[in-house]
Amino acid sequence: MKQIISSENIPIKLWLDDIEEGALGQARNLANLPFVYKHIAVMPDAHFGYGMPIGGVMATEDVIIPNAVGVDIGCGMCAMQTSLQDLSSDKLKEIMAGIRKTIPLGFKHHKHAQDKSRMPGGRDGAPLSSLPVISREYTNALTQLGTLGGGNHFIEIQKGSDGHIWIMVHSGSRNLGYRVANYYNRLAIELNSRWGTKIPKSWQLAFLPLSSEPGRQYRQEMEFCVEFALANRKLMMERVQDVIAAVAAPVTFSGFINIAHNYAAMETHFSRNVIVHRKGATSAREGELGIIPGSQGTPSYIVRGRGNTDSFTSCSHGAGRKMGRREAQRRLDLEAETSRLDKQGILHSIRHKKDLDEAAGAYKDIDKVVEEQIDLVEVVVSLRPLAVVKG
């Protein structure tokens, strides 16, 4: 931990030396909510978000806040080790082509519905008919299963410090999670206005009581989306494995790791049952394996949690942005960014000025971010990028 701010109703504990003013202002808002518990934790990759800073961790009592989870519910990372120890440039190119052919990228979906058996069921025995958004979007979701999406989502082939080739996938709940998030955030805003709550609307932190029907429904639909996001990553991982096996047999795969970074969950902290909201932060319980990805062209890390209670047993979800998307497209130099990747021999996805929003220069220094949370996690394997597919 780098610093503690004690000027608000509860402390704000930060794992970074400097934080942009907008994100700090959002953390201050969180610390003054009437139902927030113990303290706010801010991870070293923190930056400005909607309502709650990306890289924020907050525990609440008896309420849940849709905007403190975000629109890409269940977004997260998965990684898997292969038995391969090397891949030639030609084979990497063949693998990248196979991935692009097999997995829809960006806004694209499958032309046909995927196998229903891969979809999660209702939570706690709740039939899907009781979940208004899921039941309405279920058929569309079947075509989104096994698709990458856009933004900062990626599929990456990496070389590990353990000598093995690794696969990493970053994706979320696609349009399904977006629909659930927007539906319940709008509902929370409407209800908070009706109730006359004193939380300023400008904070973008409308809440739902857990004991209310909207609160119960949001929690169930949110948890469905978390499971859907995992199913989505699993299917993509399987199809990447198939591509690699077709190009570089014989090969085996082991050690599947999954970690989500946009969700809320009931957990026990400081002897109290609370709802922990992690928005751009991941669980880091003692001994738990996790993933902290770098930006395109920088290392990623497999980590093991230390179970630090000050962070509500959490850690960062990545490097974190230091520039907004439009700012990066405006300020970064295309030739300099591509040259940096080319010199490292990375097969990358930066082709045009519009791609600079996902260039390494738009992100914080991943090594510094990892160093700032050494009390939260220990590094198990470092992963150097070899080839990247972006949404």
Domains along the chain with CATH numbers: 3-322+363-390 (3.90.1860.10)
Active site residue 164: no
* pLDDT for the residue numbered 123: 60
Residues 6+ apart with CB under 8 A from 356: 328, 329, 332, 334, 337, 350, 362
Show the DSSP H helices in 14-173 as ranges. 21-31, 89-102, 132-144
Catalytic entry in 47, 109, 153, 317: 317
* pLDDT for the residue numbered 216: 96
Give the C-alpha separation, 213 to 202, whole Å.
25
* pLDDT for the residue numbered 243: 98
In total, the chain counts a number of residues equal to: 391
* pLDDT for the residue numbered 297: 87
* pLDDT for the residue numbered 122: 59
* pLDDT for the residue numbered 124: 62
* pLDDT for the residue numbered 127: 75
* pLDDT for the residue numbered 391: 81
Give the C-alpha separation, 168 to 162, whole Å.
15
Give the C-alpha separation, 260 to 270, whole Å.
23
Distances (CA, A) of 260 to 132, 152, 213, 263, 280: 24, 15, 26, 7, 9
Low-confidence ranges of the chain (pLDDT < 70): 122-125
Give the C-alpha separation, 16 to 376, whole Å.
13
Q: Which two tokens stand for residue 108?
A: 């694209």
Distances (CA, A) of 16 to 7, 84, 278, 355, 364: 18, 37, 17, 28, 12
- The three-class DSSP label of residue 362 is helix
Name the pTM for this structure: 0.96
